[in-house]
Amino acid sequence: MEALILYMVLFFPAVNAAPVGLLPFSALRELNRTLTFTIPSLALLWYIISDRNGFSALKNERPQRRDLLPFAIGFPGLVSIGFGIFLLTGLLPGLLPGLLPNFAELFPPPVIERPAAASGWVVLVFACLGTGYLEESYFRFYLLTKLEKQVPKTAPRIILSTALFAVCHVYGGPWAVLNAVLAGIFLSVIFVRCRSLHGIALAHGAYNFFVYLVSG
């Protein structure tokens, strides 16, 4: 019940967001979102994860050298998934012209606008890292760990975590959902194998930043 309430509070509003077309970048908006939503949400989540007394979970999850390997695997893997979906958006209509003649027009991939000033890029770094840490803290670290006793088998836990992760990306359209499904499975497997929050959170944040870097 606790996990569901957290999901409804922190991520479910994105389900009802307007469909994505062009996303104009606003440094002020991103800074406001980071300060008023992302950071407080992270604080709440980690307060719940911790033992509320000694905050042992925070102490145990300090960055370590072992986090470098999950990052080294995670970041290029996420880039490969994103690039593959980008290619698919252009190839699918041609591969299935009879079934999906106007698929690209009906479901265009989101167009993301880059920051125009250096200050915007600085804000973007913190925004991407914050989002990466918030989503990985909940969907991978919190959810996969919390469900270990109720759902001993790994595969069902990954499926549930990934399904919830994908649902909160529906605002981006079917391509964003597909990306979330593949990325969610990929990051969940890395976390289960390596138990590294910082590695996958940094990879997630770096990928978000990379999307802006190559856009436009």
For residue range 132-152, list pLDDT tens digits in order.
999 999 999 999 988 888 888
Amino acid at 12: F
Is the pLDDT at 30 greater than 60, yes or no? Answer: yes
Q: What is the pLDDT of residues 38-47, one digit of tens each?
A: 999 999 999 8
Is the pLDDT at 112 greater than 70, yes or no? Answer: yes
pLDDT confidence of residue 108? 59
pTM of the model: 0.88
CB 164 within 8 A of CB 181: no
3-state secondary structure of 43: helix
pLDDT confidence of residue 86? 85
Is the pLDDT at 215 greater than 90, yes or no? Answer: no
pLDDT confidence of residue 32? 94
**195: alpha, beta or left, given left = phi > 0 and alpha = psi -120 to 50?**
left
Measured CA to CA, the distance from residue 41 to residue 36 in angstroms comes to: 9
What are the residues whose beta carbons fall under 8 Å from the beta carbon of 172, sequence distance 6 or more?
20, 110, 179
